[in-house]
A and B are shown apart, each in its own frame.
Chain A
């Protein structure tokens, strides 16, 4: 199984600033995803993090707002840029391992004031 850690686990930020969330996996995985869960809403896929190339974004999400890096098979970052209170959410990293099993991280709880 894959064990996922996310940093930070929670943060409170001022509007207009940016926050980078890290996702670290204890084994090499084939796919990595970033999800957002706004208060009272369903989880929504932001993008697929591709190793060594630009992430693939879902409709409604753009690279300027949510730049993503994935330098290797075990690590990815998601940056929430120029934050507003509407960005207050739980951000989740998810991975698929070589056995094609999907795992979810512990989440990063973000509050933007």
Chain B
């Protein structure tokens, strides 16, 4: 069964600190992995997308890594800001029957405090 597990479930850090969010998946056959940021009361917004051959992708202070062998991804946030407070969702895509099937994680709820 295709699954995406994220950890930690929630996290509180001080402004300016770094943090790393984890995503483990069992999705097969793997197509790509995305990280989304979802602010409270809003829809998810894509941060990064990585295919099998990519092992790192950056978007400003966000850096995602992918280890396709161990089926793990991480999202590293550098010098956190209050606006980083949000839910971060890992989404893995598999090619199924010529189509595309997305499996969503439950998200990591990040809170950045002063």
Partners in one complex: no
